[in-house]
Structure 1
Amino acid sequence: MSTQQIIQRTIQDKWQMTLQKNTSIHQAGLVLPPGNWETFDPFLVMAEDNMKKGAFDYHPHRGIETVTYMIDGVLNHSDNQGNRGQLKQGDTQWMTAGRGLLHLEEAPENGYAHLLQLWVNLPAVHKMTTPRYQDILHATLPVRIEHGAEIRVISGSSGGIRSVTANYTPVIMVEITLHAGHSVKQDLAADLNGFIYILSGSGAFGANKLTGKKNDVLWLSTSVDHPSEIEIGADEALKLILVAGKPLREPVAARGPFVMNTEEQLNEAFKDYLDGKFGSWTDENQR
């Protein structure tokens, strides 16, 4: 019996995220800048936000999933369908906007929320699916333990340890904590686009041993036809998020909070929103 070749991924590209002051209560930076639809497929944009209460008002979404990972602080969320919750350090929320909803994410009074938010594109067949929430608490995550390494599986799998998170678009998302002087490998199925975002520390990444440090974004080389893995080594204590997803290879039409496949669908989304088909927002929708 032949064994399928395992490709060793390299780091294809690297750039650094820089937080910038938007307002007195909001700092933000782009991890994945928007507009790179084909390169980042199935991912649309990723931002890091550090904010206080009042940074955002309620707003709509359609056609995407928003994945919110808490770096630290506290985030309260609510929507116009009666859903409410609170996320703390290490927690993740996987929100499927689907056909549309209105929601609000904000820090508590006298507190702050420091987070990453990733937008995952929905396949055309699921653009108008029923909205849903998955609050994925850090303490309940499946954990893979290796010598000097702890891998918490937010979505997908790592070394045979699998998350129960449901995906419309197959996505691996893991939080890796690595002690200085140690290394670990993350397995990746064939045909996944992926990246690493370094939260703290520094190390060497991929078969080409590219160095990376806090706030660096490392884009992985592709492996379309074969399963693969990426090796990560820590020069100093390292914490990072690794995300990989299966490309949809579908047209993208994006404007504001809506991501569809055609301009006609985008225009329909805005019309539906203005016509009240996303529902209304009242004080009762807020915490």
Structure 2
Amino acid sequence: MNHPPLIKRDITEVQDVVLRRHSPIHAAGPVIEFGNWSQSDPFLGMMEDKFQAGSFDDHPHRGIETVTYVIDGTIEHYDSVSEQGGMLGPGDVQWMTAGSGVIHNEVPSEGITAHTLQLWINLPREQKMTTPRYQNLKGTDMPVRQEDGALVRVFSGSSSDVVSPTKNHVPVTMVEVSMESGASITQDLPGSYNGFIYILEGSGTFGSNGVNAAKSQVLWLGAGIDGELSEIQATATEPLRFVLYAGEPVREPVAARGPFVMNTEEEVNEAFREYRNGTFLKH
């Protein structure tokens, strides 16, 4: 059966990610700056953090999902939903749906410096107050797609005919790609998806315009066409590892302050009121 050719996406922007020290135990830098909602939709922002125990206190979220990818080290997490913790190591992902509200914390194991990426995904209006849930995605449990010199680990969505069981409120593809020098691969995406790549190791060329990029750079994918399938190509010029995130834009008003992201300022104010008066988790 012949499939129509996929529309090839280019790379429209490449930026360096720089971590700055916020304290003796915490350095961080934005992979995606918060506040550019229309350009990054459905993604609200992403931070890269290197931190030790004591960097963060217990804190709330509402109206979003957070996707935490562990690059190095181990983190122990606690949440108000399950009232129990868990452990994540290198290559593991925690997919947290805050929905109506959670209080949680992620703490590196004692004496360990954890290195993580944390992405915030907007939830659409009808899902803002959905029931919270956690999905702990061990890298070793995720389905993989193998090509010549390349391995694609599918944390969410699909890669070719390999499909992840991860549940989404907003359709999101998240893959981790490891490639040998000289290998090439393409990742298929719906044309409506907005997306980006972050390079963890090595260097390569990306997109139909053959953009060169290397470790600690973020690359934005050019737009596809709604209703048409598309693909993004990568070729490794040395051993290469990157993560790709792409998702369906929500296209709704965003009111964001602190840990809460809603559609209106009044909804954000209500979240703060409930957090202060102790009714935040009673939904």
TM class by smaller structure: over 0.9
Between the aligned partners of 2:80 and 2:124, the Cα distance in structure 1 is 24
My pick for the range that moved more, 271-280 or 246-255, is 271-280
Between the aligned partners of 2:222 and 2:268, the Cα distance in structure 1 is 32
1:50 aligns with 2:50: yes
Partner of residue 25, structure 1: 25
Gaps of 5+ in 2: none
For the residue of structure 1 that corresponds to 2:21, the secondary structure is: strand
Partner of residue 265, structure 1: 267
Between the aligned partners of 1:83 and 1:65, the Cα distance in structure 2 is 19
The aligned length equals: 280
Partner of residue 91, structure 1: 92
1:215 aligns with 2:199: no
TM-score by length of 1: 0.95
1:198 aligns with 2:167: no
Partner of residue 169, structure 1: 170
Which letter maps to 1:242? L
- Runs of 4+ in structure 1 deviating by more than 4 angstroms, as ranges, are 1-5
Partner of residue 69, structure 1: 69
Which letter maps to 1:173? M
Partner of residue 231, structure 2: 229
Between the aligned partners of 1:98 and 1:182, the Cα distance in structure 2 is 40
TM-score by length of 2: 0.97
Between the aligned partners of 2:131 and 2:281, the Cα distance in structure 1 is 14
Write out per-residue CA displacement over residues 197-253 of structure 1, whole angstroms, 9 at most, x where no aligned residue: 000100000000000000010000011322100000000000000000000100000
In the TM superposition, residue 89 of structure 1 has moved relative to its aligned partner by 0.4
Write out per-residue CA displacement over residues 96-149 of structure 1, whole angstroms, 9 at most, x where no aligned residue: 000011111111111121100000001110000111000000110100000000
For the residue of structure 2 that corresponds to 1:34, the secondary structure is: coil
For the residue of structure 2 that corresponds to 1:236, the secondary structure is: coil
Between the aligned partners of 1:124 and 1:14, the Cα distance in structure 2 is 31
In the TM superposition, residue 278 of structure 1 has moved relative to its aligned partner by 2.5
Which letter maps to 1:273? Y
Which letter maps to 2:15? W
In the TM superposition, residue 29 of structure 1 has moved relative to its aligned partner by 0.7
Between the aligned partners of 2:110 and 2:177, the Cα distance in structure 1 is 31
Matches within 5 A, 1:248-259: 248-259=250-261
Partner of residue 144, structure 2: 143
1:125 aligns with 2:126: yes
In the TM superposition, residue 263 of structure 1 has moved relative to its aligned partner by 0.8
Q: Is the 8 A contact 2:53 2:107 kept in 1?
A: yes
For the residue of structure 1 that corresponds to 2:49, the secondary structure is: strand
Between the aligned partners of 1:205 and 1:49, the Cα distance in structure 2 is 25
For the residue of structure 1 that corresponds to 2:202, the secondary structure is: strand
CA RMSD of the aligned region, Å? 1.3
Q: Is the 8 A contact 1:102 1:278 kept in 2?
A: no
Q: Is the 8 A contact 2:100 2:281 kept in 1?
A: no
Which letter maps to 1:22? H
Between the aligned partners of 2:260 and 2:126, the Cα distance in structure 1 is 16
Between the aligned partners of 1:130 and 1:83, the Cα distance in structure 2 is 17
